[in-house]
């Protein structure tokens, strides 16, 4: 019996139920992944007991000597991973990493340009319901109406017109490679600060599969989970000269004490991502996403932009007369976890949507490859074509469970 089972059996039971869901279901949420046992162990380590406000060598509490070492290791490894000059690993999330960059460089009311949330952007890039949208004068660019791909000439025209103080590039539901150099050039032309949010694609950038923003954008923010396959958290990369500005913005500007157990886990994650095996993993993530998208198209499901260059695909369900919400619920009943998502030309609310977002980081971490993606794509097509047939959903769930048994999430825990 574990300490948790002994001291709080109610919470222990909930955690076990979640373990069962993950072990015997397919996780296709593009923003999720599964960490290694080493990352999980560091996250749950004794490091969680310590307050360590400040930075290595400049803490506000005693007893931080070991925390200084691990934070320096995390920073050095992250810089090595992305060939960056300076890293801050203290942000609790990607959203707070973005807030820190805004707080450090622009003022309330300043004009910023960012990708529309309904066309693939992120909440923290200026959505009117987010603090970023409330503080700044946000102008949103989107994708081309026909191709559903970013039109850099149109983005440049908008920048010349609105003259932003900052241009944010990066997305949460955009299946194509982003040209960070083009964004950097547009920002330079209009005298704007360029910020790249690579939260979703950080692992692909680290592996050299997606082009890097490090040398062409002034600031780069990221999460440490998603394709990077680490603990939930954020980080900021920048040039050495901007380091003090960013560090001051994170602490004391926005946060108090850092989560040192998470920073220790980030250090482990960065070490894993520096291994040659990680490059092979990232390559397989993209291969899997492409095969999954192709299979979905073969099942008469429209794939936005016609395919994918990264870890995710976006489906338009409009032709089938079902909503993203309906599809999410039905697939959940079949043991396949996805999320409803807005699509270009969206006509429904974000709570209902006309689309689905599917991603391959987690299933790839389990060892699944192209053959399994074909099976998964066919299952998705089968469920969506029989959206109200619970017997079909049950049959697919049994097949899903059988496949998951062949690819244990954590072999020693099943």
The reply to whether 3 sits in an annotated binding site is: no
Rounded CA-CA distance 302/189 in Å is: 37
280 labelled catalytic: no
Selecting among 19, 32, 50, 53, the annotated active-site residue is 53
The reply to whether 351 sits in an annotated binding site is: yes
51 labelled catalytic: yes
What are the Cα distances from residue 6, in Å, to 2, 41, 103, 121, 164?
6, 20, 45, 44, 57
Selecting among 27, 71, 148, 197, the annotated active-site residue is 197
Asked if residue 190 lies in contact with residue 184, where contact means CB atoms within 8 angstroms, the answer is no
Q: How many residues does the chain have?
A: 414
Rounded CA-CA distance 78/230 in Å is: 12
287 labelled catalytic: no
Rounded CA-CA distance 14/16 in Å is: 5
Asked if residue 145 lies in contact with residue 344, where contact means CB atoms within 8 angstroms, the answer is yes
340 labelled catalytic: no
Rounded CA-CA distance 272/269 in Å is: 5
For residue 247, count other CB atoms closer than 10 A to its CB.
21
Give the bridge partners for 340, in sequence order: 356
Rounded CA-CA distance 411/395 in Å is: 25
The reply to whether 121 sits in an annotated binding site is: yes
226 labelled catalytic: yes
Rounded CA-CA distance 288/311 in Å is: 8
For residue 153, count other CB atoms closer than 10 A to its CB.
9
DSSP letters for 116-169: -GGGT--GGGT-TTSHHHHHSEEEEE-B-TTT-SB-HHHHHHHHHHH--SEEEE
The reply to whether 307 sits in an annotated binding site is: no
223 labelled catalytic: yes
Selecting among 75, 165, 176, 226, the annotated active-site residue is 226
The reply to whether 122 sits in an annotated binding site is: yes
Backbone φ and ψ for 123, nearest 5 degrees, come out as -50, -40
Give the bridge partners for 302, in sequence order: 316
Rounded CA-CA distance 223/233 in Å is: 6
Selecting among 176, 229, 232, 357, the annotated active-site residue is 232
Selecting among 105, 220, 221, 223, the annotated active-site residue is 223
The reply to whether 117 sits in an annotated binding site is: yes
| Annotation: binding site | 117, 121-123, 349-351
Binding site membership for (6S)-5,6,7,8-tetrahydrofolate: which residues? 117, 121-123, 349-351
Residues carrying an active site annotation: 51, 53, 197, 223, 226, 232
């Amino acid at each position: 019996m574990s300490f948790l089972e002994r001291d709080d059996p109610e919470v222990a039971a909930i955690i076990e139920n979640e373990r069962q869901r993950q072990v015997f279901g397919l996780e296709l949420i593009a923003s999720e992944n599964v960490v290694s046992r080493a990352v999980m162990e560091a996250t749950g380590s004794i490091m969680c007991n310590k307050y360590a406000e400040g930075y290595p060598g400049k803490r506000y509490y005693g007893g931080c000597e070991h925390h200084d070492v691990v934070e320096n290791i995390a920073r050095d490894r992250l810089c090595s991973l992305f060939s960056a000059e300076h890293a801050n690993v203290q942000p609790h999330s990607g959203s707070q990493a973005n807030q820190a960059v805004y707080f450090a460089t622009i003022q309330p009311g300043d004009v910023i340009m960012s990708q529309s949330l309904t066309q693939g952007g992120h909440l923290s890039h200026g959505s009117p319901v987010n603090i970023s949208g409330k503080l700044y004068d946000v102008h949103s660019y989107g994708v081309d109406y026909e191709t559903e791909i970013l039109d850099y000439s149109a983005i440049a025209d908008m920048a010349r017109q609105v003259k932003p103080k900052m241009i944010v590039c990066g997305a949460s539901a955009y299946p194509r490679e982003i040209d960070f150099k083009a964004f950097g050039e547009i920002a330079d032309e209009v005298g704007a600060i360029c910020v790249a949010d690579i939260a979703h694609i950080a692992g692909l950038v680290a592996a050299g599969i997606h082009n890097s923003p490090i040398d062409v954008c002034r600031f780069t923010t990221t999460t440490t989970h998603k394709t990077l396959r680490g603990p939930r958290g954020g980080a900021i990369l920048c040039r050495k000269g901007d380091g003090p500005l960013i560090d001051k913005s994170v602490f004391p500007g926005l946060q108090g004490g850092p989560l040192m157990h998470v920073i220790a886990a980030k250090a482990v994650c960065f070490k894993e991502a520096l291994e040659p095996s990680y490059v092979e993993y990232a390559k397989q993530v993209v291969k899997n996403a492409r095969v999954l998208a192709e299979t979905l198209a073969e099942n008469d499901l429209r794939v936005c932009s016609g395919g994918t260059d990264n870890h995710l695909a976006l489906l338009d369900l409009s032709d089938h007369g079902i909503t993203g919400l309906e599809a999410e619920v039905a697939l959940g009943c079949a043991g396949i976890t996805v999320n409803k998502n807005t699509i270009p030309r969206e006509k429904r609310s974000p709570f209902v949507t006309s689309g689905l977002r599917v991603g391959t980081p987690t299933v790839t971490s389990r060892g699944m490859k192209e053959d399994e993606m074909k099976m998964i794509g066919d299952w998705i097509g089968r469920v969506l074509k029989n959206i109200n047939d619970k017997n079909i959903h049950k049959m697919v769930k049994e097949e899903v469970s059988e496949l998951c048994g062949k690819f244990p999430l954590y072999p020693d825990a099943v």
